[in-house]
Amino acid sequence: MIKGKSVVITGSTSGIGLGMARKFAAAGAKVMLNGFGDAHEIETIRYEMAEEFGVDVAYSAADVTKPDEIETMLQAANRDHGGVDILVNNAGVQHTAKIQDFPPEKWDLVIATNLSAAFHATRLVLPQMLERNWGRIINTASAHGLVASVEKAAYVAAKHGVVGLTKVVALETAKTGVTCNAICPGWVLTPLVMQQIEKRAEENGTTVAEEKEKLLLEKQPSGEFVTVEQLGDLALFLSSEAAAQIRGQAIAMDGGWTAQ
């Protein structure tokens, strides 16, 4: 079902997005990577993925906070991969601070990257998906799209917004072959989460290992990180025919976090 499909994954040069990209490539999909990072490292990732899985892998350096660059990226996917069958809105950034200390520019950046980018990419790909009467839109939300934590006003607001956007898109496409769902991961050991752990260790005068354990125990009853491979498999399932009637759902993969 996935073989030969065209997939665009924002924020896929590392972490969850890269894990998903590898899963789609392994299933035979044409993949467009997107994100920031060292140009040589990204080209190595792109080339090695294409070689390993025998599929076409492209890369766009589009800044998803800029709607015109999102449009250019999707036009490239249309040109090089024959359209966009599956869109994964995954790009995300984080900033932590109490609301009274939260820099407005950081608020704007988090909302633009985590929420507005998903809206712009979705509005741009929907016409072609509806014309073909098939498409999958998968939004990477978060456990923080379902519950809140202190000092994460922008992130929690954005991720709750992503869940709401997901439901609206699902309702508007309910009688079509297009589906839209959100994945809500708990703690995943990505570079973004490692930054938070290292910051906590520095502030508390503890080790990174201690802060990893504390982070999990605070929120995630399983005591284990979710893996990018598990999230990639969930994205693959949501793209399959078996998931055709899963619509507008915020699916938590969080070690029991939101069950509490």
Spatial CB neighbours of 102, under 8 Å, sequence gap ≥ 6: 95, 153, 154
Give per-10-residue mean pLDDT for the chain (260 aa): 96 96 98 97 98 98 98 98 98 96 98 98 98 98 98 98 99 98 95 86 94 92 95 98 98 97
Using a 10 angstrom Cβ sphere, with 0-12 exposed, 13-18 middle and 19 or more buried, the burial of residue 35 is: buried
Between CA 56 and CA 39 the distance in angstroms is 18
Residue 209 lies in a domain: no
Residue 203 lies in a domain: no
Residue 217 lies in a domain: no
Q: What is the pTM of this model?
A: 0.95
pLDDT at position 104 is 98
Residue 192 lies in a domain: no
Residue 65 lies in a domain: yes
pLDDT at position 195 is 87
Which residue range(s) make up the domain with 248? 6-186+226-259
Q: Under a CB-based contact definition with an 8 Å cutoff, are residues 127 and 241 in contact? A: no
Residue 210 lies in a domain: no
pLDDT at position 109 is 98
Residue 123 lies in a domain: yes
Q: Helices marked H in the chain — which ranges?
A: 15-26, 39-53, 67-81, 104-111, 117-132, 153-172, 191-204, 208-219, 228-238
Known catalytic residues are 155
CATH at residue 53: 3.40.50.720
Between CA 29 and CA 82 the distance in angstroms is 12
Cα angle 177, 179, 182 (rounded to 5 degrees) comes to 170
pLDDT at position 37 is 94
Question: How many domains is the chain partitioned into structurally?
Answer: 1
Q: What per-residue string of b and e applies to 128-143 under the rule 16 or more CB within 10 Å gives b?
A: ebeeeeebbbbbbbbb
Q: What is the DSSP letter of 112?
A: I
Residue 213 lies in a domain: no
pLDDT at position 246 is 98
pLDDT at position 204 is 94
Q: Under a CB-based contact definition with an 8 Å cutoff, are residues 9 and 59 in contact? A: no
**Cα 130 versus chain centre, distance:** 22
